[in-house]
Structure 1
Amino acid sequence: MTTTVARYLASRLASLGIEHVFGVPGNHLGPFLTAVGHTPGIEWIGTPTEVGAGYAADAYARVRPGPRIGAAAVTYSVGAFTLLNPIGGSYVEYVPVVAINATPTYEQWLNYRAIGLLTSHMSQRRESNLDVYRQVTVDAQVVTNAALAPVQIDAALVACLSERRPVYLEVMEDVWDAPCASPVGDLTARTRPVTARNEQVLGRAVDAAVALIEELGRPILWAGEEVDRFDLAGPFGELVEATGIPFCTTIGGKAVLSEDHPYFVGVYNGKSSTPWVYTVFQKWARVRIGIGSWSTSKNLGGERSIGPDWIVAAHDGVSVGASYFPDVRLPAFVEALRDRLVTRFGERHFEADYYARAHEAGLPVPSAYRSTRAVAAGTGLTYDLLFDRVNDLLAASPRTYTVVSDAGFSLLGSMSLHVSEKDGYLAQNSWLSIGYSVGAATGVALVRQDRRPLVFVGDGSFQEVVQELSTHVRHGLRPVIFVLDNEGFYGIEQMLVAPCYYTKPPSSEPDYYNILHPWRYDALAQVFGTATAPMTGVEVASEEDLADLLRRLGDRADSVNYGPVLVHVRLRRDDYPVSISYKVEECAQPEGGR
């Protein structure tokens, strides 16, 4: 039996459970979109920008059940080069996304080669699009022969599932409607076989890890991004329960288990951690065990290294102090470490040992670790006050929201939110493309239709992707987007380059290039909302304004809950989250500043 290349790709995506394909149409893409429209179970979500489509597909893949995979489709060069940034983020953060790029026809490429005739979106380098995508994908295919399309498409999709990273499919316009063989069989991830050598190295890694724990005692776990990316929340939870070892998470690993868990200490982010989390993790614990944790600047907050008392297990190997054990599979290590610790010490040994000694040392009980920082009333609206009050909303409305945080002060502030729902937090914490959260809200809302995206984004980040509000309104999505406007200022950039500006009184002027053009953000609801698809804009400039909004969000009958909500949060330019205060403190030291 035969089909067409366009129908083949569309049906393969649908068979993987992909119900939404995001993107911006173009003439070269038309035949594929026609096929998508005739494929049961899959829907085209047109977005105003390719960047927004990429962010949506990335978030869609992160939160959907079953095979984690998303898809974005664009047209040649002008669309593909814009999509490159989101796909770069998916590559760095291990998110499986299929990037589909429709190209000029084979005839047009022959015309260019023979007489130099360029048509729309073409460059003088035939492989320009392919070359750049090879840098950020695990497989990149150019489909020029319909007879080979099934083999190429299947190979790319299997690579995407197996490596859990993006792939790239470039298809010529006149190939879409050409006949090819129909799909045969199911596509599944192919796991690399475990060899005898892998088993030997695994055993040595576990031996070394247990020996270090025996030598130093008082371990603490640090759950990271790969616990989520490689679906290891279950095995990690079993490790915690069986051993009784307390755990922290990275920002990107936040809420891989419910933060109501009695062994949860908090988010460890180096100097950006709360004082108690930092004390427990760095001062009280003697062995730090990273499980799927990435050593990035946003996970180590001002720290530059890990050290000889660390164990760090990631998907490609395990470090124990200065020793490295390559090609140890993370799932196997988590399971083997759990079994060896229970065999060696007994069930939940570290629960009694850890907390008995902690009590003797005067450290608080676990519940105190989770308490939010006290914020005095009457001090005006601040980052810390905002997130403290949002914690009340999350506590009062369980199973209602998925927190989506952008980069910068939004990320650092949202770290303090208490997320009781497993997988209730989403952030791009390594690539850190500003504006990610607004596009990501689209993907989150379409997958988790019973949850509402609760988005925190800085004003500079928001200005990058404001058009994506149109997608929310058009498709009846209901995110609540807090735009954190610190008087039109790239606050995080100022903090990273010249933190002395934030001293009291400031010892430097704000850098001119960090100043933004001010917008009336709440008024944008009138631009994007319609009579049949309402959108609400709210300005919050005081504690009273914030309290009123949170009350309305908690009242399901209030009209604010009928559609998307854009909240213009007014903050002082010199304000910043307490989690980054170490930068200001360092600036005040004699060797600090500039």
Structure 2
Amino acid sequence: MPRSHLMDHERFLREFRTPEHVVEPETGAVRAAAGDVTDVADTGTETVSAYLNKRLREIGVGHVMAIPGDYISEWVESLDGESSAGLKRVHPNNEMLATYAADGYGRAVGDSVGCVAVTYGVGALNAVQAVAGAYVENVPLVIVNGTPSPAQFNSQRDQGVLWHHMFDGSYTDLRVLQEVTARAVRIDNPAYAPELIDAALATCVTESRPVYIEIANGMEGYQCQAVSRRQGLKPSPVPQSARSLEEAVDAVVEVLKSSQRLVILGGIELSRYSLQDKLVALAKRLQAPYVSSLLGKSALSEFREDIRFSGVYNGRNSQANVQKLISDADVVLQLGVLETDFNFSGVATADFDPNTAPGLPLAGQIDVRQGAVKINTAANPAQTGELYWGDVSLDAFLGALAEAIDEHFGGKPPGAPYPGLDSGTPWEIPAPGEYPGNDQVTWDSFKSYLQHHYLSQFQESNQPVLLADTGLTFYALNNLKVPEGGYIAQLSWGAIGYTVGANYGVKLAHDAVSHGSGRRVVSVCGDGAFAESVNALGTIAQLGLDSIVFVMANGVFAIEQFLIDADAYCNDAPPPQFAALADVPQTAIWDWAKLAEGFGGVGYTVTTNAELAEVLGKLEEPPTHAATGKPTFTLVAVHNKRKDLPSNTRWKMHCGNG
């Protein structure tokens, strides 16, 4: 290698740090790049880092999940100094888990926004998968990426110097991340920094989706206009056609005039856009049973008595009484529901069989999403086909429909109160006595013991937040009784292992936004999922969090076998063999208790229902780490039956005694 390409310390500082002095473009005068913070009141300027930190804090970021890297180091260092604006830096294990944690932070509490800091190339591109999941599921999240400077990109172009972590010199990270974020900006001139930062962050809180801010190397210490000289950030009003809103509401009012069995189906957008109060006001007027989609579970507290919560609808995975409520409905009013194959929003069965009629359960359907209203032909009284408006805000619609009910019906529609569940409750979970103590744990016995021996001991205000991982876990646990925000699952993106990484982000958000709620966070995942995110345990312990992680250690990717051939779970002899790809061989040799201890926590292994009950009884008081004196996590490996499905998913088995 030519010696001229070697980087001495002076050149390193020149390429990777803000210069000590800069030349004023207009006058040619030399001045300090990063003025003393006390100069801000006099000059109306502050560093780009200080500006970004204040704006992040303003929109609801409290913690930054930061992975080290020289391109991002100068901004991350600002989080430990006077210009941090109160932001706290967390040191996760890798970019994917850092982004899961930031995603969990953004989901946890209505006012929270997640943030992750990465370095160019190896950092940002490692985070892309997790960022995409946040985008798909409307999670407010900010990705801050430290990148090569314009001078470095120029040297790659002109001299052939391929700087580390660069791909080909064509701003690869920016091009990739703009595909999975709502807005992607690059700051390589401090004069543009306030406008670009504000545009990105306003997009984040308006659309409830990830945004990407790329900071060119060395920009962090330059001066820009101070936050105090600019307007505050808040969600931008969504343009709303008054005519479309009026037409859509009038059309729904016509449907309500004749509906006799109305059901409200609520979805995740109600949480993402903080519309719970408007939903409650509307539900009280409609006096109709309210069910949630699985992705929308816990948008409202299931403990509330002022609305008629009637369960979670998850297609054929739902309780029988909830399925009947939906199939008997003449109109289902869907509000903020994302229609996904995992979510089974109510318009399709859980599994499509091309040899049979689809058996759609909905007669009349009104689907209101952020930005659109659709009324299907069956719900259209004029029977003139589907009605659609593509420019109606969900927020505006909820308020306008409530007002229209007051105006047209004196506060309630003619069919109200509408029939609810014909039997049972929304939480039909057998008591632990139904499952003998000496029997091996099954999905159903685990849910029963978790509900009756652990969750039921809490009040609504302090019940743990449950994170149900992708797979049989989020199906099996879909009818646990939870408070508002008490159930989190990736029902669309579906990344296994998400809940272990997201666990501490959820906990930090609750403690920061709710001022130390004390609410514990419980992750439940399969062993295949856990293997993807096991090293997140180290971060949980380092932070001194009392989280709980249950691992269903049956040695098989159970959801994959369920999708490939559910008949492998039949009791027929001999049964079909599990597909080889469904095995999780590595966890069979793990010592779970020692694994937990190695990461700084406490671990248990259980096989029978009695052993599970005993461990659940130990969870009331969190363990303490001997060296730090701080609380730490508890890991419970549950050796549940390998050949077992949750009862609500056995419909897919075609064996006679399944």
Taking structure 1 as the reference length, the TM-score comes to 0.91
2:450 maps to which of 368, 378, 390? 390
**Partner of residue 597, structure 2:** 526
Q: Give 1:370 deviation, angstroms.
A: 3.0
* CA RMSD after TM alignment: 2.4
1:317 maps to which of 354, 366, 372? 372
**Partner of residue 462, structure 1:** 530
Tell me how far apart the structure 2 counterparts of residues 211 and 17 of structure 1 sit (CA, whole Å): 41
Note if 1:432 corresponds to 2:478.
Answer: no
Tell me how far apart the structure 2 counterparts of residues 537 and 345 of structure 1 sit (CA, whole Å): 59
Note if 1:377 corresponds to 2:445.
Answer: no
1:417 maps to which of 468, 472, 480? 480
Among the aligned pairs, what percent are the same residue?
31
Alignment partner of 1:28: what SS?
Answer: coil
Tell me how far apart the structure 1 counterparts of residues 417 and 238 of structure 2 sit (CA, whole Å): 39
Structure 1 residues 125, 581: closer, same or farther in 2, change over 3 A?
farther
**Partner of residue 272, structure 1:** 317
Q: Give 1:521 deviation, angstroms.
A: 2.8
Structure 1 residues 24, 11: closer, same or farther in 2, change over 3 A?
same
Tell me how far apart the structure 1 counterparts of residues 246 and 207 of structure 2 sit (CA, whole Å): 24
* Matches for 1:97-112 after TM superposition, within 5 Å: 97-112=141-156
1:501-554 deviation digits (Å, cap 9, x = unpaired): 11222642111111112233332111111xxxxx11011211111111221223
* Matches for 1:101-500 after TM superposition, within 5 Å: 101-183=145-227, 184-185=229-230, 186-194=232-240, 198-262=241-305, 263-283=308-328, 285-300=329-344, 301-302=350-351, 307-321=362-376, 322-347=386-411, 353-355=417-419, 363-364=422-423, 368-373=425-430, 376-378=434-436, 379-392=439-452, 393-398=454-459, 399-419=462-482, 421-449=483-511, 450-486=518-554, 488-500=555-567
Q: Give 1:373 deviation, angstroms.
A: 4.2
Note if 1:41 corresponds to 2:103.
Answer: no
Q: Give 1:351 deviation, angstroms.
A: 8.6
**Partner of residue 571, structure 1:** 640
Amino acid at match of 2:276: A
Tell me how far apart the structure 2 counterparts of residues 58 and 156 of structure 1 sit (CA, whole Å): 17
Tell me how far apart the structure 2 counterparts of residues 91 and 306 of structure 1 sit (CA, whole Å): 29
Note if 1:548 corresponds to 2:614.
Answer: yes
Q: Which runs of 5+ in 1 are unaligned?
A: 530-534
Q: Give 1:4 deviation, angstroms.
A: 2.2
Amino acid at match of 1:165: R
1:119-150 deviation digits (Å, cap 9, x = unpaired): 21011142211111111111111111122222
Tell me how far apart the structure 1 counterparts of residues 108 and 468 of structure 2 sit (CA, whole Å): 14
**Partner of residue 105, structure 2:** 60
Structure 1 residues 248, 351: closer, same or farther in 2, change over 3 A?
farther
**Partner of residue 347, structure 2:** none
Structure 1 residues 348, 548: closer, same or farther in 2, change over 3 A?
farther
Judging by fraction of residues, say which structure has more helix.
1
Structure 1 residues 276, 177: closer, same or farther in 2, change over 3 A?
same
Contact conserved, 2:286 with 2:417, CA < 8 A, in 1?
no
Runs of 4+ in structure 1 displaced over 4 angstroms? Answer: 303-308, 342-353, 555-561
Structure 1 residues 276, 558: closer, same or farther in 2, change over 3 A?
farther
Q: Give 1:343 deviation, angstroms.
A: 4.4
Tell me how far apart the structure 2 counterparts of residues 458 and 563 of structure 1 sit (CA, whole Å): 21
Moved more, 6-15 or 77-86: 6-15
Amino acid at match of 1:309: G
Alignment partner of 2:418: what SS?
Answer: helix
Tell me how far apart the structure 1 counterparts of residues 470 and 165 of structure 2 sit (CA, whole Å): 32
Moved more, 92-101 or 202-211: 202-211
Moved more, 396-405 or 374-383: 374-383
Q: Which runs of 5+ in 2 are unaligned?
A: 1-42, 345-349, 353-357, 377-385, 512-517
Tell me how far apart the structure 1 counterparts of residues 251 and 60 of structure 2 sit (CA, whole Å): 41
State how many pairs are aligned. 570
Alignment partner of 1:454: what SS?
Answer: strand
Amino acid at match of 2:606: V
Tell me how far apart the structure 1 counterparts of residues 597 and 551 of structure 2 sit (CA, whole Å): 16
Contact conserved, 1:245 with 1:350, CA < 8 A, in 2?
no
Amino acid at match of 2:450: V
Tell me how far apart the structure 1 counterparts of residues 520 and 469 of structure 2 sit (CA, whole Å): 16
Contact conserved, 1:144 with 1:175, CA < 8 A, in 2?
yes
Amino acid at match of 1:439: G
Structure 1 residues 71, 511: closer, same or farther in 2, change over 3 A?
same
Note if 1:27 corresponds to 2:70.
Answer: yes
Taking structure 2 as the reference length, the TM-score comes to 0.82
Bigger Rg, structure 1 or 2? 2
**Partner of residue 532, structure 1:** none
Amino acid at match of 1:520: D
Alignment partner of 1:190: what SS?
Answer: coil
**Partner of residue 51, structure 1:** 96
Amino acid at match of 1:339: E
Alignment partner of 2:221: what SS?
Answer: coil
